[in-house]
Amino acid sequence: MKRAIYPGSFDPVTLGHLDIIKRSAKIVDELVVGVLNNNLKTPLFSVENRVKMLNEVVKDIPNVKVMAFEGLLVDFAKKLDAKIIVRGLRAVTDFEYELQMSQTNMVLDNEIDTIFFTTSLEYAYLSSSTVKEAAYYGADISRFVPESVIPQVFEKLKEKEKKNE
């Protein structure tokens, strides 16, 4: 059983993430999308929300599972008996961070390898942060995130603004 983990914050999941999920799911038996429950970052969406949004968008891909994780990625991988980490590379600006992360993970556990998918051209510019910023200023985000995610982003931003009033 070849199991891989595609880890990330997914705050929220974008069409770029979905593209990597679909492509990587084709080359493994099972792909676990690992959603980081991170105390160091303050996400817009709770981890439960992010898992729920992801479950909606992957529901038609049979070998993809979505799970939240805390702590070290290599520990999560070990627990699931996954030897492959999947990450997407958009541009050269991603490279240094990704290289550092994959090498750190390799030192922490040398049985785990990271494989990189270069992002499809149409999503090369996309990031969860720019999606949130564009939505905050009222932009149409339908080319950035899956359809089911659109209303949830606007709803969450509205909630956040109300709290800040």
Count of C-beta atoms within a 10 Å radius of residue 130: 14
Stretch (H or E) spanning 88: strand 84-89
Q: Assess 129 for contact with ligand PNS (CB under 6 A).
A: no
C-alpha torsion sign, points 106, 107, 109, 110:
positive
C-alpha–C-alpha distance, residues 1 and 32, integer Å: 13
Q: Assess 101 for contact with ligand PNS (CB under 6 A).
A: yes
41 is catalytic: yes
Whether 115 contacts 6, CB under 8 Å:
no
Q: Assess 9 for contact with ligand PNS (CB under 6 A).
A: yes
Q: Assess 8 for contact with ligand PNS (CB under 6 A).
A: yes
24 is catalytic: no
17 is catalytic: yes
Q: Which of residues 49-78 bind ligand PNS (CB under 6 A)?
A: 72-73
Footprint of ligand PNS on this chain (CB under 6 A)?
7-9, 36, 72-73, 101, 104-105
